[in-house]
Structure 1
Amino acid sequence: VGSAIAASLAAAGIAGIGVCDHDPAVAEALAGRLRAHYPALAVATGSNDPAGYDVVVNATPLGMKDGDPLPMDVARIAPGTFVGEVVMKQEHTPFLRAALEKGCPIQVGTDMLFEQIPAYLEFFGFGTTTAEELRAVARLSY
């Protein structure tokens, strides 16, 4: 999930990105792929410190289980930083609730799914729809 998000952000033209994983080799491998495909992109690894970033995304499973630690130090996220989440077990994970309390705009995990479904449908040759149409008819229960 994190690789796809990082590649999408890089393709959108961001200037720099920080990549962190509990396994440093995984983060370094992703960083290497990003550098190879986007040579102008500044890629940092080794830290999960969100300070100084305009966009922060939790692409880990942290938040799926009660009692999970937060994926990063939310106190280091500036108010106004856009905070995204991939966990879909609950609409507002503890991470997103903490970001909201700081005044950050957020994107819930299910939004990622709504954005992906049209691409899946197209890839497999089915009719298409839009993320907005999906949101209008979805009945979510957390």
Structure 2
Amino acid sequence: MARRASSAPSHAHWPPASAAAGDLRANWRAQCVADGVDAAAELAGCLHPGAGLAPRPTLEEIAAWIWRDDAGLTARTKPVSRADVLAAVADACPDGAVDTADVEALTDAVLRCGPAVRLPDSGASHLVNAARYTGCR
């Protein structure tokens, strides 16, 4: 049986043409009530997602976690890019981040306090996060 691509995009059915913004909110609240969900609490959880999460580890704890010998960034490969460190720092924050500037600043602080050693530029050094590091203990 041959498959034919539809001429309409997959999202063409949503939202329904008859649904106004107020109707969608009322529908959502009705679904919450029917399922026994507190809509106000769910909304508050979306507006303040860090509430109830573990506190952010200290810079030293993040650095120790990232540069640990057994499974850290340099466990399999010795040189890592700043982008690798940036991703690891973001992963180490259970409370998330305010924005990318928050993660960038935290990454810079972790690189300063941890056992990171800056390596000479190599390869695509024109890229934004191409700086290379290795962990040294």
Per the TM superposition, whether the score is higher than 0.5 is no
- Higher-Rg structure is 2
Higher relative contact order (CA 8 A, sep 6+): 2
Normalization by structure 1: what TM-score? 0.20
TM-score, normalization by structure 2 = 0.21
The structure that is strand-richer by fraction is: 1
